[in-house]
Structure 1
Amino acid sequence: MSSGSDIVHVAFVPSAGFGHLGPCLRLAALFLRHQHCHVTLITPKPTVSLAESHLISRFCSSFPSQVSQIDFQLLPFDPSTENSSDPFWLQFERIRRSVHLLIPILSSLSPPLNALIHDISLISPMIPVSDSLAVPSYIYFVATARMFSFFSHLSVLDAANKQAQGHPASFIGDAVEIPGIRLPIPRSSIPPLLLQPGSLFEKIFMEDSPKLTKLDGIFINTFDEVEAEAMAALNSGKVVPGLPPAHAVGPFMPCEFEKAPEEENSDGSLMKWLDGQPEGSVVYICFGNRTATTREQVKEMAEGLLQSGYRFLWVVKLKMVDKEDDEDLEQVLEPEVMKKIKEKGLVVKTWVNQGEILGHSSVGGFVNHGGWNSIVESIWNGVPVLSWGQNGDQKITSEVAAESGAGIWPAEWGWGGEVVVKAEEIAKAVKEMMNNESLKLKVLQLKDAARNAAAVGGSCDIKIKTIIEELRKKKKKTVH
C-alpha cells in the first residue's frame, strides 16, 4: 500500500449472494479509479455459491497494489433458529451475528480506515462497528431508488401504526403512497416475505429501516434519467426526515475482473455461437443467480420460445445454489422438444458473462427476473427487457423498467412460481419486446445517458470524486 496523508482507506463489507457481491465490487472499482484510494475487502467465509468465490478472487488479483483482502470467518450458526430456508437470507443473518468481531480487525488496519461501506442488509449490526471506529458509515443499495424509498419509508408507516406491532402485513393497505413519488406501490408488488409475519426478511427490514438516519450516506446503482423523481424525493426529506444524502452513482459499469477464465465457463463456444447469428435476432433469457425455475415453467418457457420464432440463448437454473444444480435439461424436456431447441437456440447451465452477452450485436432482447443489476446491464448495452419479477423487490424494479422505457412488464403474470405462465403468453410477450421499435429507440437513448453518467467527468465520477475529497479533508482535520 502507498503511504502518506493523501491515502483514503475504505473498507467494503459485502453480504451474501452474487447479486449483492457484484455491485459491491463494482462500487469499489469506482473508488479505485481515483488515485490514492485503497480498499480493504472483508469477505465473509464460507461463501454460499461458487460464483461468489470466483468473483472475489478475480477482483483481488485485478488490483494487487490497491486492494487488501481479509477473510472473515463467521460464527457458527444454527439455521433452525430462524424462520427461513433461503440459504442466502440465512447467510445474511449469520453475517449480522458475526460483524461485531470486525472491530479489533478493522481498528488494527494501517493506515487507519477513513470510511466503512457495507451492504444494505447489515445496517443495525454495523452501526456499532462504525461508531467504535469513529469513521463514517455508508451503505450500498442493490435495487432501485424507488425500492429504497419504500424501504426507508417503512419506519414512518410503522411509527404511525403502533397497533400493528411492527408487522407490515397489518399496516400496509392496498397500496403504499410515498411522499414525493407520483405512483403508489400496490400491495401486490410488495416483497411477499415482508408480508409474512415472523419471516427473517421482515425481521431484518423492520429492524434496519429506522436506523437509516444514523448513516452518513447511501450509494444507489441508478442515474437521473431513469429515477430522477425517486432520487429527488429521497434527498428532499419528504420520504424520511433526517435521511442522509442518497447518491445516484450508477450505472455500475461492467468490469474486466468479471470475465472468468476459459476453463471456468462456456463463454468461448457461446460467443462463437452468437457470432454466427444475425444482428438483433437473439433473445437472451436468464433469471439470475438465485432464481430456480420449476420444471413446469421450464417446459412452458421452452415451448414459448419456440413459438416466438426467434433464436435464443437460454441460461437454465433448476436449483437456487449453483453447487447443487446437477439436473440436466434432458431430464425435464421431451426428446423432440430438446431437438427443436438445439436447432433454434443454445441452452447453457454454467456461469456466463452476462455483460459480454448483452453487449453482443446479435442480442436483441433480454427476458429476465426483474433483478435491478440485470436491468441496468441491459440499459448499459441498449437492449430492451421483458421483466418478470420472481421475488423480493423485483415487481417494483420491473415497474421502474417499464416506466423508464427500458422494457415491458406483463404485470398479469404475477410472481414467478405463483402460477405457470403458458407458452402462448410467453411467445406473445417476446414478440412484443423484439418488434417494438419505439421501445428500441428509448432504450438506446437510455444507453447514451448511462454511458455519459459513468464516463470520466460524468455524474457518477464526479460524485465519487467529491466523496473521496470529503473523506480526505476529514482525515486531515483528524490528523491535525
Structure 2
Amino acid sequence: MEAAAGAGGMEVVVFPWLAFGHMIPFLELSKRLAARGHAVTFVSTPRNLARLPPVPPHLSARLRFVSLPLPRVDGLPEGAESTADVPAEKIELVKKAMDGLAAPLTTFLADEAAVGRRPDWIIHDFCHHWLPPIADEHNVPCAAFLILQAAFVAFVGPRWANNMHPRAATEDFNVTPGWIPSPLTIAYRRHNEAESLASLFRTNASGVSDMDRAWGMFERCRLTIYRSCDEVDPGMFALLSDLLRRPAVPAGVLLPPAVADDGNRGKDELLRWLDEQPPKSVIYVALGSEAPLTRKSLHELALGLDLAGVRFLWALRTPAGLFDAGANDCSVLPDGFEERTRGRGMVQTGWVPQVKALAHPATGAFLTHCGWGSTVESFCFGLPLVMLPFTLDQPLVAQAMEEKGIGVEVARDDIDSSFDRDCVAAAVRRVMVDEEGKVLASNARKLQEVLADQVAQERYIDGLVEHLRRHRDDGCQ
C-alpha cells in the first residue's frame, strides 16, 4: 500500500454517525486511505474521539482527528455522545444533537478554506442529510459510506422507487418490493421485524424520519460506498447503481488487521481462558450493546446456553437504561446460572476484543445478533453462526446467511419474535454438536478462504480511490 503513496494525494474528511459500529469501519477506511498517501481528517465529538483505538504510528502524519462539540439537547443525559451512552428510546435525541453539528462543521470547512486546505471529498454516514448542502457551499463533493448490508439498502430503496411502489402498512414490508428484480427475494418474515422498517418512514423525536435523512443523502451525494465486496454481495452493486442513479462502490470487508499475539495475552483473562479450551469447542456469544433485550429474553438466552451443554464465552453488554442504574451486568443473569456453568462458560462484561476472540483456535461458532460488522468479522474467521437478529437490517442479514448455508436462526414467534431457552439450546446444538454443524462450518471456511485474499481486498480500496479521483470534479448528479 505504501508504494501507492506519493504525489497527487487527496484531502478527505470522514464523518461517521455517532455509533461505534459505524465509527470503527469509518476509521478502518480512513487508515487504508491514509496508507495510500491521502490526508484524512476524521471528524466526531470529543468523547467519541477519546474512545477510538490508537492509529498506527506510521499513519499518524496523514490521519488527524477533529473534535466538534455536541450541542446539548433536552432529555439527553449529560456526557452522552454516542448511541452506546443512551437507551434505545433516546437514540432519536442523539440524532437531534448531531443535527446541531451543522454549524460547527460549517465553521470547520471555512477555517480549512482560510488556510488553503479545501477537502477533495467529505465521506459521511446515512443520517447526514444536512451535510451535502453545506459541502456544496464550499464546493466540496460528498460520498456516503454505508456500513449496512448492501441488500438492506436495496430493500429500503430510493425515494423515486418508494413513490412508484408505496408501502403504507407494516405488512407491505413482508413482501419483496417492486423494484427488486426477480429472482431475488428480499423481505421480512415476522411482523415486528417489518414494523422496525416501517418505523423508519415516520418522523421521530429528532424531527426528521430516518428515511428522509437517507433519501436526502442519496440524492445529494456523488457516490455510495459499502463495507462489502462482490464475493459477499454478488450483483448487488450494479443493482444499487441503477436504483440510486450514482455509482455504488464496494470498499471490501475492512477487517481490522490486529489479530496477532501482541505480547499481552497472558494479562487478558478472556484470552487466557480460551487458551485452556479444546480447539473449536467454544461458542462466542455477543449481541452488541444496542440489542432491544428485555430481562425475560436475556434470561431465556442464558438458560438456553445452560441447556445446550456446550462451552461458551459470552460478551455481555446490557443496553443502557435496561436495568437499574449502577447494576453490574452479571447481576441480571438468572439465579444460579454462573454456578451451574462454571468451568465450561465464561461471562465477560465490559469491552471484549471481539476480533481476537473470533480468531482464537478455541472458538468454533458465533451466536450473533447479525449486525453487519459482526457478521463480516465472522466471515473472515470461517465461523458458522447461531443467529438471533432483532431489528433493521439484522433479519435480512440472517436470511442471507441461511441461504449461504453458514448459519441457523433461533426459532422465534412470528408476531413478536420472542424466543425461549429450548429454541436457543436447539440452535446452539445444531451448530456445535450435530452433524449439520460440520456442513455449516465447511461452508463458512470456504467463504473465509475467498475473503482471505488480501490482494483482492486491497484492490477494492484501489478501485474506490479511482472512483474518488474520477468523480471529484463532476457536477452533482
With normalisation by structure 2, the TM-score equals: 0.84
Unaligned stretches of 5+ residues in structure 1: 162-166
Give the C-alpha shift of residue 422 in structure 1.
Answer: 1.6
Shift in Å at residue 85 of structure 1? Answer: 5.8
1:33 aligned partner: 35
Q: Measure how far apart 1:305 and its partner are.
A: 1.1
8 Å Cα contact 1:43/1:71 also seen in 2: yes
- Residue 475 of structure 1: CA displacement? 7.3
Question: CA contact under 8 A between 1:60 and 1:68: conserved in structure 2?
Answer: no
RMSD over equivalenced CA pairs, Å: 3.4
Q: Does 1:77 align with 2:73?
A: yes
CA, structure 1 residues 97+224, in 2 after alignment: closer, same or farther (shift >3 Å)? same
Q: How far apart are residue 60 of structure 1 and its match? A: 7.9
1:68 paired with 2:72, answer: no
Q: Which of 187, 193, 199 is the aligned partner of 1:195? A: 199
Residue in 2 that maps onto 1:461: 458
Matching residue of 2:392: 392
Q: 1:44 touches 1:95 (CA, 8 Å); kept in 2?
A: no
Aligned to 1:137: 142
1:138-172 superposed Cα distances (whole Å, 9 cap, x missing partner): 111111010111223454223554xxxxx854793
Report how many residues are paired.
Answer: 449
Residues 127-206 of structure 1 aligned to structure 2 (within 5 Å): 127-153=132-158, 155-161=160-166, 168-169=168-169, 172=172, 174-177=174-177, 178-180=179-181, 182-186=184-188, 188=190, 189-190=193-194, 192=196, 194-195=198-199, 197-199=202-204, 203-206=209-212
Matches within 5 A, 1:38-437: 38-47=39-48, 53-55=50-52, 58-59=54-55, 63-79=59-75, 86-109=89-112, 110-122=116-128, 124-153=129-158, 155-161=160-166, 168-169=168-169, 172=172, 174-177=174-177, 178-180=179-181, 182-186=184-188, 188=190, 189-190=193-194, 192=196, 194-195=198-199, 197-199=202-204, 203-209=209-215, 211-235=217-241, 237=242, 239-240=243-244, 243-256=245-258, 268-291=268-291, 293-320=293-320, 326-328=326-328, 331-410=331-410, 412-413=412-413, 418=416, 420-434=418-432, 435=434, 436-437=437-438
Measured in 2, the distance between the counterparts of 1:216 and 1:410 equals 40
Equivalent-residue separation in structure 1 for 2:104 and 2:155 (angstroms): 31
SS at match of 1:172: helix
Deviates more, 1:352-361 or 1:211-220: 211-220
Deviation, structure 1 residue 259? 11
State the AA in 1 paired with 2:156: F
Instruction: Please state how far the C-alpha of 1:218 moved relative to its aligned partner.
Output: 1.1
Identity of aligned residues (%): 21
Q: Is the 8 A contact 1:193 1:199 kept in 2?
A: no
SS at match of 1:117: strand
In structure 2, what residue type is equivalent to 1:194?
A
Question: Secondary structure in 1 aligned to 2:42?
Answer: strand
C-alpha distance 395-474 of structure 1, shift in aligned 2 (>3 A): closer
What is the distance in 2 between the residues matched to 1:376 and 1:215?
Answer: 25
Q: Distance in 2 between matches of 1:211 and 1:298?
A: 36
Q: Distance in 2 between matches of 1:33 and 1:470?
A: 17
In structure 2, the CA distance between the partners of 1:113 and 1:72, relative to structure 1 (3 Å rule), is same
Return the structure number with greater helix share. 1
Counterparts in 2 of 1:60 and 1:128: CA distance versus 1, 3 Å: farther
The range that moved more, 313-322 or 7-16, is 313-322
C-alpha distance in 2, partners of 1:444/1:368?
Answer: 18
Offset of residue 7 of structure 1:
2.6
Supply the AA of the counterpart residue of 1:147. F
TM-score under structure 1 length normalisation: 0.83
Relative to 1, partners in 2 of residues 1:70 and 1:379: Cα closer, same or farther, differing over 3 Å?
A: same
| Structure 1 residues 151 and 401: CA distance shift in structure 2, 3 A | same
The Cα shift of 1:115 comes to 0.7
CA distance in 2, matches of 1:337, 1:101: 49
Shift in CA distance, 327/447, structure 1 to aligned 2, threshold 3 Å: same
Shift in alpha-carbon separation, 1:439–1:97, aligned structure 2, 3 A? same
CA contact (8 A) 1:142 1:373 kept: yes
Counterparts in 2 of 1:76 and 1:330: CA distance versus 1, 3 Å: closer
CA deviations 1:10-49 (Å, max 9, x no partner) are: 0000111111111111111221231x211101112454xx
Question: Structure 2: 5+ residue runs without aligned partners?
Answer: 77-86
Q: Distance in 2 between matches of 1:138 and 1:441?
A: 37
Query: Aligned-pair distance for 1:326?
Result: 3.8
How far is the alpha carbon of 1:469 from its aligned partner?
A: 4.3
For 2:297, give the aligned amino acid: Q
Q: What amino acid maps onto 2:273 in structure 1?
A: W
Displacement of 1:206 in angstroms is 2.9
Alignment partners' CA distance in 1, 2:397 and 2:404 = 11
> What do residues 336-364 of structure 1 show as CA deviations (whole Å, max 9, x unaligned)?
33211223211011100110000001001
Q: Indicate how the Cα distance of structure 1 residues 230 and 410 shifts in structure 2: closer, same or farther if over 3 A, else same.
A: farther
The residue number in structure 2 matching 1:438 is 439
Higher deviation after alignment, 302-311 or 181-190: 181-190
State the alpha-carbon separation in 1 of the partners of residues 306 and 161 from structure 2: 48
Q: Which amino acid aligns with 1:468?
A: V
Aligned-partner SS, 1:108:
helix
C-alpha displacement of 1:86: 3.1
Amino acid aligned to 2:35? R
